[in-house]
Amino acid sequence: MLDKYRNIHTTYEKLNDIDIIQNTPFILIVNWDSVDYEFLVRANEASSDLLVFGSGAYEPAKMKPPIFQRHSWTEHFDSNMIYYNDPTLYLGQMSLGWGHGTDDTFYLEKIAKIIEKLMNRLSVKAEDTLFYGSSGGGFMSMVLAGFIRGAKALVNNPQTIIPNYYQSHVNLLLEAAHPNLTPEESAKKYITRLNVLEFFKEINYMPYIFYLQNTACNHDVVKHFMPFVRGLNTLKDSLTYDRLTIELYSNKEQGHNPLELDDTIHYIKQIKNK
């Protein structure tokens, strides 16, 4: 389905020189230090806000990177929209990479810097930018909103501590990203890339987060939601004050899967009007 979109290739240094196509989605491929960072962009010069979508796990039997989950949602919003692919997926046989990167490069940091340049081209301020994602996309949304100060994050059943996720997925990531370290060594050395609270401590900042959690998904609640909530007291009060809204719901049938489009639109509009 991505074949229908026009591709534009550039480098990070020449990103300001590209022509931004209005109202028609296009794929932007930004080469930076020999890594391709891929984005699906839908610009709307009539809008002053931006929605940024991250993807969770995908099914390798059905698709391959770049992954732009929910790209059909562009027709439901008037905002500028950016979807980003995680280059970590190209490092090995994995379906989820959390924007982790390699020994030397934190891919989410590079993605944030590219998005900031695009925000400038789209005339969008940080406070009018909302990152949305569920599962692994929720983790990445919180980190990206941390890098881009003033932006907000809407997350649905996110991972907050990657090593608490299913071990097979975690090991695939760490073995591909850091082949010279054991998974245990990688988890210790790169803790700020793997634990969102540790990341907030490192940057001494926490973005505004709207956290949606299905209490019927026990794994998410026990391994990610509760450790995140309990761990907030390890941050300075000044970092967390008025920065978190939690809404719980219960749906056994949906489980880990996020809310449907209509419900998500409701929350996106609620945050935009906050």
User: What would the mean pLDDT of 147-160 be, rounded to a whole number?
Assistant: 98
pLDDT of residue 274 exceeding 80: no
Q: How many helices (H) and strands (E) does the chain have?
A: 10, 9
- What confidence score (pLDDT) does residue 272 get? 82
Residue 199 one-letter amino acid: F
- What confidence score (pLDDT) does residue 185 get? 97
- pTM beyond 0.95, yes or no: yes
pLDDT category, 2, cuts 50, 70, 90?
A: confident
- What confidence score (pLDDT) does residue 140 get? 98
pLDDT of residue 260 exceeding 90: yes
Hey, what's the torsion of the CAs at 110, 157, 94, 52, to 10 degrees? -30
- What confidence score (pLDDT) does residue 157 get? 98
pLDDT tens across 22-48, in order?
A: 999 999 999 999 999 999 999 999 999
pLDDT tens across 200-234, in order?
A: 999 999 999 999 999 999 999 999 999 999 999 99
- How much of the chain, in percent, has pLDDT values that exceed 70? 100
For residues 201 and 193, give the distance between their C-alpha atoms in angstroms, rounded to a whole number.
12
pLDDT of residue 5 exceeding 80: yes
Sorted by where each starts, the structural domains of the chain and their CATH numbers stand as 2-272 (3.40.50.1820)
- What confidence score (pLDDT) does residue 3 get? 83
The residue count of the chain comes to: 274
pLDDT of residue 254 exceeding 80: yes
pLDDT tens across 57-89, in order?
A: 999 988 999 999 999 999 999 999 999 999 999
pLDDT tens across 115-145, in order?
A: 999 999 999 999 999 999 999 999 999 999 9
Residue 232 one-letter amino acid: L
> Which residues are CB-neighbours of 18 under 8 A, at least 6 positions away?
8, 10, 28
Strand, helix or coil for residue 98: coil
- What confidence score (pLDDT) does residue 273 get? 75
Mean pLDDT over each residue of the chain, to the nearest integer: 96
Helices 107-122, 136-147: axis angle to 10 degrees equals 60
Beta bridge partners of 82: 41, 52
